[in-house]
Chains A and B, each alone.
Chain A
Amino acid sequence: MNAFMGSWRDAPDDAVLVAYASGDGSAAQVLSQRLVPRVLAQAKRMLADRAEAEDVAQEAMMRLWKIAPDWRQGEAQVSTWLYRVVANLCTDRLRKRRSLSLDDIAEPADPQKSAVAQMLETSRLTALADALAQLPDRQAQAVSLRHLEGLSNPEIATIMDISLRSVESLTARGKRALTDILAGRRAELGYEDE
């Protein structure tokens, strides 16, 4: 298996995906090792919930496996496609979350941190995800790609299939809305004395 995986080490994602569609047994492992960490991280940053992020990562990769036979090599980047799929899946979940309480989406404790620090960090990340959930889907996607994934505006324009001007507008409006939403929670999140 390692010998096969070594042969794909320098191949672009779409070439490995086409190999997977052709029945190559090692291609799925190569793609998973490359893509799942980033897919999971994107979902975790948007949702602030490990279990939900894992579900999104699995669903996004499932969609990738299913689309593989129809993938046209060289036309689109697998990473770009995945950013879009994960952003859509996350905003779907954020939308459903609007009716849930914050306690329902609490993050499990990290034993390496003190209980107080852990609670504060969890509260802050959950508050951010909760605030994202209140934005319109496109704004939430643009803000998360820009400020959580650190992508450039042209990259976001490609991923969301919109103009640069639209990206700038969505991120600016989204950021302002987030600030307004979170303004009332400054004390609760430990920012009152800053």
Chain B
Amino acid sequence: MLDDLFALAQAKPVMPSDDLMARILADADAVQVAAPAPTQSIWAGFFDIIGGWPSVGGLAMAGVTGVWFGIAPPATVTTFAADLIGTDVTVDLLADSSSYFAETLTDG
């Protein structure tokens, strides 16, 4: 009798209904949406923290501008610094060394 019951249970075909499949796929979508985003790189996380690529562009522009102001400051900046600090100091880093190199080359 028991083997007959086992055989009967095994013989019964069971196919999932469309409704069951729809419910299961809806669950899958809900869990997938709720799950945290896949792990990202350290750089991607850093860029997100500072505001993304637009912020990185702004930082780069500010850096270039600062370097340019250091090399060739506009007159208004020099005047403003003199007014603020009360003195105006100009340091020429290249003049002497240029002539030194010129002499060395001439003598050599």
Contacts and interface: CB of A to CB of B under 8 A. Distances in A.
A44 B14 CA distance: 8
Contacts of A31: 28
Given A54-B17, A69-B35, A178-B2, A20 B28 contact: yes
Interface string A136-161: 00000000000110100000000000
9 shortest interchain CB distances as A-B pairs? A28-B28, A65-B31, A41-B14, A128-B5, A147-B6, A191-B1, A44-B14, A45-B9, A61-B24
Interface string B2-40: 101110111010111100110111011101100111100
Nearest to B22: A32
A128 B5 CA distance: 7
Interface in B16-74: 16-17, 20-21, 23-25, 27-29, 31-32, 35-38
Contacts of A44: 12, 14
Majority DSSP secondary structure for residues of A touching B: helix
Interface string A15-33: 0000011110000110111
Interface in A113-130: 121, 124-125, 127-128
A37 B13 CA distance: 10
A54 B35 CA distance: 25
B20 to A, nearest CB: 5
Interface in A46-69: 48, 50, 53-54, 57-58, 61-62, 65-66, 68-69
